[in-house]
Amino acid sequence: MEETIEGYIEHIIYRNQENGYTVANLVAEETEITCVGIFQYLNEGEAIRAKGVYKEHPSYGQQFSVSSYEIVIPQDSLAMERYLGSGAIKGIGAALAARIVRHFGDDTLRIIETEPERLAEVKGISERKAREIAEQVEDKADMRKAMMFLQQYGISQTLGAKIYQQYKQDMYRILKENPYKMAEDISGVGFKIADEIAARIGIHTDSDYRIRSGLLYILLLATAEGHVYLPKRVLLARAEKLLGVQADYMEKHIVDLAIDRKIVVKEITDDFTDEKEQVVYASQYYQIELHTAQMLHELNLKDTVDEEVIAEKIRRIQKAEKIELDEMQQQAIAEAVKNGLLVITGGPGTGKTTTINGIIRYFEMEGLDIYLAAPTGRAAKRMTEATGYEAKTIHRMLELTGAPEEKSGSIYFERNAQNPLEADVIIIDEMSMVDIFLMHALLSAVVSGTRLILVGDVNQLPSVGPGSVLKDIIASGEFPVVELVKIFRQASQSDIVVNAHKINQGVPVSLDNKSMDFFFLKRYDANVIISVVITLIQKKMPKFVDAEPYDIQVLTPMRKGLLGVERLNVILQQYLNPPSKEKKEKEHGKGLFREGDKVMQIKNNYQLEWEIRGLYGIPVEKGVGVFNGDTGIIKEVNTFAETITVEFDERRFVEYSFKQLEELELAYAITIHKAQGSEYPAVIIPLLAGPKMLMNRNLLYTAVTRARKCVTLVGDEKVFAEMENNKMEQSRYTTLDLRIKESH
């Protein structure tokens, strides 16, 4: 049964800043009580009245678990001195608090609230300081009032704090007039949250604010599917479904949004039907495509260099490096020398890495500064190993900082148009993974005159983020492109490479298992397939490819279903990291995280801090940013501090609060989409029938090319054949190629 206790907070033992979870010592009638609960705005020295129940913690003994509390205004001089001296008010310490209370006695609170200028009567307080003290006391009172107001609409303390900090006293007006404004102004508040709040406040379904906000929200959601715009007919159909409002009623709102420059409406011609149709962009995305196109043109400079001089230097490189470059590789090096911007594309085994090495050696001979980068940590690590040159992630090269720009919530790079990269040559690998936002940020930091070389496999799946950057740059036909097609002798001995090219060309692949690195185990029942996958990971594969079980990656086309990521991970966790008394765990959602689990970050978090630890766990480097697709191992589950520590590639340690766990998921099995840009010693691909749009050639090709030493498919050979013959790709609504042609 709930009890009520009253006292003052003597000491805050622990506070999770994310969710306000606090452990504090409360003194009530000379008795010290350990209180636990959500106290977002509680300071030492403050008096509270709390409701809750006493519970016995296995490690920390009796605690009072608080369900609700209210601040008790200090009534007497002792309580007031304790409050002022606690550090709750900036600029007042214990000694100054004692002097204030000695001077004004029990009248102290009234003086601060109604005659704050009189605080200057106390020695050590200027008139300015008196005003600051009064403002702080007033702000804290306003904050508490605001939190109580927001709680009646079911708004959490964490979200309430964000709303109050953004709007202060304007908060009441905005919530009553247009709560949808929060979706534009406050990160973490999407349309859905704003819509729930609006419904509780009593805003009508057909409110202008609601429809406008809903249309913008749909355009934002479309970027999660990779789109930069939506055809107007698609936008209105989705809006009808989401908002429950007729399409013709929303036409005028599209016009209003365009007038307010929140959206851009354009007419484009369909390449296949030749029909014109209206399309709608959120303004930010239209401008990003347009600006990206303009910056690409600015880099596309020609350099007149004697062909014979280039050829002679290439001959010297081949002799010095003891390599033989074919005609297209030599052409790629020559084009890199002659052009400010170059695209090199080709499938596995076609010598992209050798070509990059040749380009590096050429520009090294010229004494130029060369930067190498790739979209992911794994891809950058591979690039470093292949070239002997340090490669960084693009985010790291651009010096990502954790500070978001003011209103937009977008990320901020130290390297930008005002502070560009100091390089003569920049080579980016795995370009198929680069989305329109990252491309824009990269180009903003590259000055005209710097050579930019973009390398990638255009047949891989497109980026997780919006855009089809590599494909659109090639499709525009405005820039030099060298396509490497010849499979080199060493690579041609690998059936992974040979079969990947066969898949890409739609040529039937032999599944007779006579290969040394490409196997197909025919099984037709989902549970039998899973059993085979477990045996392969635990017993067969580690010895065969000389790797740890954790390095062997299960790749599956789907999230749901009998062989989807969600089901596979629960089963694989049981076998590969079973429960143990030595391993702490934390339940989350429908599953749990356990020490030793393999996990993946599933969204870009530009504020999340990491540290690289040296000997004895001492941090040797710190930074920010953990990205969609980064995988690591759970090193510690701390139930008291409510944190989980994950070690990612390059010994980067990241601490997650329990509230941030929705950003992580188990990664024993991952979708093929999430494996982009990564390479594993061995991959295992379970295959049974699935949605036709998803089960395509593109997906199969990407999965097979993720393996370095061995690919094993387990499942139905008919599904393999269907995927190989299915050329349907989920098309993306992007127009970077059009913007490039227009900008010429």
Give the residue ranges of the annotated binding site for ATP: 349-353
**Distance (Å, whole) CA 466 – CA 220:** 10
Spacing of C-alpha 75 from chain mean position: 49
What contacts 192, CB < 8 A, 6 or more positions away? 217
Closest residue by Cα to residue 73 from 104, 48, 39? 48
Rounded to whole angstroms, the Cα distance separating 284 from 220 reads 10
In sequence order, the β-bridge partners of residue 670 are 555
- 543, two tokens: 């010895």
The neighbour count for residue 337, using CB atoms within 10 Å, is 21
Dig out the tokens for 340 from the structure.
Answer: 């400010």
CB of 624 closer than 8 Å to CB of 691: no
Nearest CA-CA partner of 177 in 152, 145, 209, 154? 209
Is residue 662 within 8 Å of residue 530, measured between CB atoms? no
Query: What are 312-317's contacts with CB under 8 Å, separation 24+?
Result: 313/362, 313/365, 314/358, 314/362, 316/365, 317/358, 317/361, 317/362, 317/365
- Residue 679 CB coordination number (10 Å): 16
* Known binding residues: 349-353
Residue 61 CB coordination number (10 Å): 9
- List CB contacts of 680: < 8 A, sequence separation 6 or more: 551, 552, 553, 706, 707, 708
Tokens 């005028």 identify what position?
Answer: 252
Distant-in-sequence, close-in-space partners of 312: CB < 8 Å, separation ≥ 6: none
Q: How far is CA 237 from CA 230, 253, 264, 732, 735, in A?
A: 11, 14, 18, 18, 21
Tokens representing 454?
């973009």
Residue 359 near residue 453, CB atoms below 8 Å:
yes
CA 208 vs CA 177, 212, 235, 346: distances in Å: 11, 6, 17, 50
At 657, which amino acid appears? S
126/117 Cα distance (integer angstroms): 9
DSSP state of 638: E
Residue pair 412/405 in contact (Cβ under 8 Å)? The answer is yes
